[in-house]
Chains A and B, each alone.
Chain A
Amino acid sequence: MLNNSTLIPLMVVLPLIMAILVNFLHQKDKSVKFISIVSLIVFVIVPVVTLYGVHLFSGHLRTGSFPEISKMLIPEVYMGIVYSYGTLQKILMLVLTIITGFSVLTVINKKMISGVYVAMIFISLASTSAIMLADDIFNFFVFTEFLVVAQAALVIAVQETKSFKAAFKYMIFGTISGASILLGIALLLGSYGLLNITDLSNAIAAGGQLNSIGLSAVALLTLGWLYESGLFPFHIIKSNMYENAKPEISALLQVQSKFVLVAMAIILFRVFSGYALLKSVMLGFAIFTVVIGSVMALQQIELRKLLSYVAVSQAGLVAVGLGLGTSFGIAAGIFHAVNDVLSMAILFFVASFVYDKFKTTNLDQLREGLHIAPLVGFVMLLATLAISGVPPFNSYQSEWRLIQAATQAGLPELGILVILLSVATFVAIIKAFYMIFMRPGPEVEVNTEVRGTMTKAIIVILIIACLGIGLFPNVVYDPIYNFVLSLGV
């Protein structure tokens, strides 16, 4: 029997409470700043001190003597919403809360502090946490909808016409995706009378082959997964969001999208574990995303746009691992998600610094930045190596495992795709690095007031984390692999 841990819901409830609080304190900057910093410390501590287990919102723990009131296929059910917290959730929660903390600190440091803005960041944190923790498919849906609104609000806050349009498109497609997920849930509810993911998984496994209603539910939920993860054909919508948000917020948005990708894929695998075609479909969309994302990235001459497409193509790579469907492949995919969000976050924070320092991220207008910001240039170079899978950095470890998993699964050509993506990513970002920091030419206008001490500290911490995971990959990988094995998918 797992622990009934009361701390688990705090990972969702605390950010929500703090969001309401800072929202009420709008325009009281000192209070918002103080509460934000204290909250961020608490948000990081809570996942560390929380015991693994489940939390039941009302209801009771699983029992063998529950009466079969609804003639369901399985005799044991949870009544009420369940949150489940394991090793994978702990790793993802830690990364998420730390990157959220860095984003908020950057916002505070730039004196962009606003109660409503921080509230939206906290709501997006709460939503992503709930998506990762929920063992209830409707609760999962509710928080995906919250996340869409909160992410759109963060982009709207930029107050530019482009950002309004990006947010509008995101919300319109979000409506279709939300309806698709809910319809899928409705079909499952109608067929099995259940919302709990564990129970649903058991019921579907006991029922044998999926009927047409079950197949429709798979299709609808997969459509929702593609949108929430920013995979093909929704890659442009997602990259548009990254591009039009403030870069430090893009760093956060890409973490949320990749973790939602992982969480929802796990749900799909658990619920429809016996349905092999699902993995092939996932793999197909993932390959399209990798190819299109990397090709688009190579064409860009705007740093934020370039990074947006790199983020999307890397999400495709995560999905390739998941789509392989083997324990090794899924674990490698999740490991790559963790590694990639750290490297991408560095690059987005570098973009944030470049934007503040040079007042543009257009690569054509940038040159000779290395003597102005040598540390940032050096870290960007290291981050480029990290995200391209160059040893001894973290992505090397995950991409190597992805290639091994592809070969083991009988798809060695996917290993070649991983290598090609690494090369394309390296070329795209090193071009940007050269144009910003190395290209000779007349001096560009520099904002001398921007020192970027906070951003520099953040990118140094993150690159050390990338190096640390690269040198000691098993600290992160082994718990992920054991978690995937325990899923039995």
Chain B
Amino acid sequence: MDPFQVGSFLTAGILVVTGLWALLMMDNILKKIIGANLIGDGVNLVLISIGYRPGGFIPEVMHHFHATATPSDYSYLLEFGEFASNASYSLPFALVLTNIVIGASTLSVMLALAVVLYHKYHTLSVQKMFEGDE
């Protein structure tokens, strides 16, 4: 594994652990939400790192790689050794883009809830908000 990729995985691990710590240990509702977001970012980084290839090129530049292609259209790829050995794996990038959009919508709903709860309790402390709940 390339050192850059190792570094990416380690960073992702740190992000996830930090996020979990913030989510479970911090009392401030905003810090909990930021923690939740950090976990998502960490997972996104794992996905991006999976698709990384040192010195690789982006498959999307290949114009023949389109949705309506049939199996025979792909046969030239076999002869195109450079593609097989040098292309980055592009699928994770698409997944990350989707997850960023989902993460943004989830984040916005959680922030809206935090605003409402703040107006009700005039505090950002989760402990005070949920005091007395079972």
Q: Which A residues fall within an 8 A CB radius of B? A: 58-60, 63, 65-67, 69-71, 80, 138, 142, 145-146, 148-149, 152-153, 156, 161, 164-165, 167-168, 171-172, 174-176, 178-179, 182-183, 185-186, 189-190, 193, 195, 236
- Complex Cα–Cα for A69 and B39 (A): 33
Chain A residue nearest to B108 in the complex (CB): A149
- 22 inter-chain pairs at a CB distance below 8 angstroms, sorted by A residue, are A67-B78, A69-B83, A71-B84, A138-B95, A138-B98, A146-B102, A148-B106, A149-B109, A161-B120, A164-B117, A164-B120, A165-B133, A171-B110, A171-B113, A172-B33, A175-B39, A179-B39, A186-B46, A186-B92, A189-B91, A189-B95, A193-B89
Q: Is the CB of B71 within 8 A of A60?
A: yes
| CB atoms of A58 and B67 under 8 A apart | yes
Chain A residues whose C-beta falls within 8 Å of the C-beta of B16 in the assembled complex: 179, 183
- Interface membership of chain B positions 95-134, coded 1 if the CB is closer than 8 angstroms to chain A and 0 otherwise: 1001100100110011001101100100000000110011
User: B30 at the A/B interface (Cβ < 8 Å)?
Assistant: no
Find chain B residues with CB under 8 A from A60 CB. 70-71
**What are the residues of chain A within 8 A of B4 when measuring CB–CB?**
none
How distant is the Cα of A136 from the Cα of B98 in the complex, in angstroms? 14
**B67-91 at interface with A (beta carbon < 8 Å):** 67-68, 70-71, 74-75, 77-78, 83-84, 89, 91
For B, the interface residue count at a CB cutoff of 8 angstroms equals 44
Q: How far is the CB of A407 from chain B (nearest CB, A)?
A: 37
* Chain B interface residues toward A at CB < 8 A: 16, 20, 23, 32-33, 36-37, 39-40, 42-43, 46-47, 50, 67-68, 70-71, 74-75, 77-78, 83-84, 89, 91-92, 95, 98-99, 102, 105-106, 109-110, 113-114, 116-117, 120, 129-130, 133-134
Task: Please tell me if the beta carbons of B75 and A195 are within 8 angstroms of each other in the complex.
Answer: no
A138 nearest CB neighbor, chain B only: B95
Closest-by-CB residue of B relative to A296 is B134
Q: Which residue of B lies closest to A175 (CB)?
A: B36
CB–CB A190/B77 < 8 A: no
Task: Point out the residue from B23, B67, B77, B134 that lies within 8 Å of A172, measured CB to CB.
Answer: B23
11 additional A-B pairs beyond A71-B84, A171-B113, A172-B110, beta carbons within 8 Å, are A58-B67, A60-B70, A148-B106, A149-B109, A165-B117, A172-B33, A175-B37, A176-B20, A176-B39, A179-B40, A183-B16
B105 touches A65 (CB 8 A): no
Determine the distance from Cα of A156 to Cα of B84 in the docked complex, in whole angstroms: 50
Contact of A175 among B70, B92, B106, B117 (CB under 8 A): B106
Closest B-chain residue to A146, C-beta based? B102
Q: Which residue of A lies closest to B42 (CB)?
A: A179
Residue on A nearest B20 in the bound complex, by CB: A176
Provide the bound-state CA to CA distance between A80 and B113, in Å.
36
B112, closest chain A residue (CB):
A156
Q: A66-B74, A171-B106 are in contact. Are A142 and B98 (CB under 8 A)?
A: yes
The 9 closest A-B pairs by CB, nearest first: A175-B36, A58-B67, A190-B50, A179-B39, A168-B113, A145-B102, A186-B47, A182-B43, A179-B43
Nearest-neighbour CB distance to chain A for B120, whole angstroms, equals: 5
Chain A residues within 8 Å of B83, by CB? 69
Complex alpha-carbon distance, A287 and B110, angstroms: 32
**B36 pairs with A172, CB closer than 8 A:** yes
| Nearest B residue to A57, CB-CB | B67
- How far in angstroms is the closest Cβ of chain B from A20? 15
Closest to A182 in B: B43
